[in-house]
Amino acid sequence: MKIICCWQDLKIGSEELTRMRGADLKSLLKRKKLYLVLDLDHTLLNSVKFMNISPEEEYLKNHADSLQDIQKGSLFMLESMHYMTKLRPFVRTFLKEASDMFEMYIYTMGGRSYAKEMARLLDPGRVYFDSRVISSADGTLKNQKGLDVVLGADNAVVILDDTEIVWSKHKENLILMERYDFFASSGRQFGSNYKSLSELNRDEVESSGALSAILKVLKLVHQTFFDSETEANLMVRDVRQVLKNVRKEVLKDCKLLFSHIWRGECPENKKLWLMAKHLGASCFTELDQSVTHIVSLVAGTDKAHWAQEKGKFLVHPRWLEAANYFWTRQPEESYMLAPQESLRQ
């Protein structure tokens, strides 16, 4: 069976690919590096077609950076492709520091010409990616991404992507990114009615944005994987287990009870419940004095009043979602619910 591997655009047989992966992994581990697969849109950057630029975004055309000095810019007008592209704040620092720990790939569901143009904006000197750019044309599964087109062993690959569903076979490798919607059309694409960052003439703050936060996670994962005190052979270590262990530390001391979020039985199958468990929290279905947080959409339920009376945290589900994106416990004060009349639920 032939497998298309993006590495040097070769078609490689499965046995040969297995041999190459083993040799490549051995060489990489000697240099104390792992593999990092990076999504483009909404993860490292955001693009909009010229025809979809809103009236409130027209001002951006006068602020585009020169394509003659890409390294210093972050907003580009790509006339040949009829796109405007905005790089995510901190992305250049992120790539520079991540390259010391990882061999990096770009993997996008976009077309090949788009992928190569975005790679040029992110890496004009071809220092970080070289030919390791994967587009939809390279994939082997429709509407899915897979590591079969990456010259890297699954147990040594970390993935950054804002879309979980496309990695159905590799969720354990995935760090889910908070979506970067700079342009209004991106927000509308996902059903948002709020003004975009561009329409508000704002942007993520470099020092506290998603890429800055995840870089810290990657450093911890890398350090843990190559921990000199661990005796296991590097070739058989699994970064997926490292990711799982690091994630479980995020809310390990938190004991959650959910209120007025879903109806019916089997909360154990609900997304927020599973998210909390993956982050290391304990989840309860009944009130208990050990509960530390009530997670609720409203503040008027009996459970919410109990939290207020007992001095427990009463937070919106966004607190949990933020912890999931940033891999660190967020300050509860930023997600507290204000007191309301009782809803008796």
- Give residue 139's pLDDT: 87
CA distance from start to end of the chain: 58
Q: How far apart are CA 324 and CA 290, in angstroms?
A: 23
282 φ, ψ (degrees, to nearest 5) = -95, 140
* Dihedral sign, Cα of residue 7, residue 12, residue 14, residue 16: negative
Question: Which DSSP category does 127 fall into?
Answer: -
As its CATH architecture, domain 17-225 has: 3-Layer(aba) Sandwich (3.40)
- Give residue 9's pLDDT: 54
Burial of 219 (0-12, 13-18, 19+ CB in 10 A): middle
Q: How far apart are CA 274 and CA 279, in angstroms?
A: 9
Q: How far apart are CA 238 and CA 311, in angstroms?
A: 41
Question: Which DSSP category does 334 fall into?
Answer: G
pLDDT classification of 251: cutoffs 50, 70, 90 = very high
- Give residue 6's pLDDT: 46
Question: Which DSSP category does 244 fall into?
Answer: H
pLDDT classification of 321: cutoffs 50, 70, 90 = very high
- Percent share of the chain, pLDDT over 90: 76
**Cβ–Cβ under 8 Å, residues 180 and 46:** yes
Ranges in the chain annotated CATH 3.40.50.10190 = 250-335
Return the number of other C-beta atoms located less than 10 Å from residue 228's C-beta. 5
**CATH 3.40.640.10 describes domain 250-335:** no
**Cβ–Cβ under 8 Å, residues 211 and 195:** no
Give the range among 6-20, 106-120, 287-301 with minimum mean pLDDT: 6-20
**Cβ–Cβ under 8 Å, residues 235 and 181:** no
Within the chain, where are the H helices? 14-30, 91-98, 112-122, 184-189, 210-225, 239-248, 271-278, 302-310, 317-326
- Give residue 91's pLDDT: 98
Ranges in the chain annotated CATH 3.40.50.1000 = 17-225
- Percent share of the chain, pLDDT over 70: 92
pLDDT digits (tens, 9 = 90+) for 8-50: 455 666 777 778 888 889 999 999 999 999 999 999 999 999 9
- Give residue 229's pLDDT: 66
Q: How far apart are CA 169 and CA 63, in angstroms?
A: 41
For 249, residues 6+ apart whose C-beta sits below 8 A from its C-beta are 280
Q: In this structure, what token pair is assigned to residue 57? A: 């975004």
pTM of the model: 0.92
**Cβ–Cβ under 8 Å, residues 91 and 122:** yes
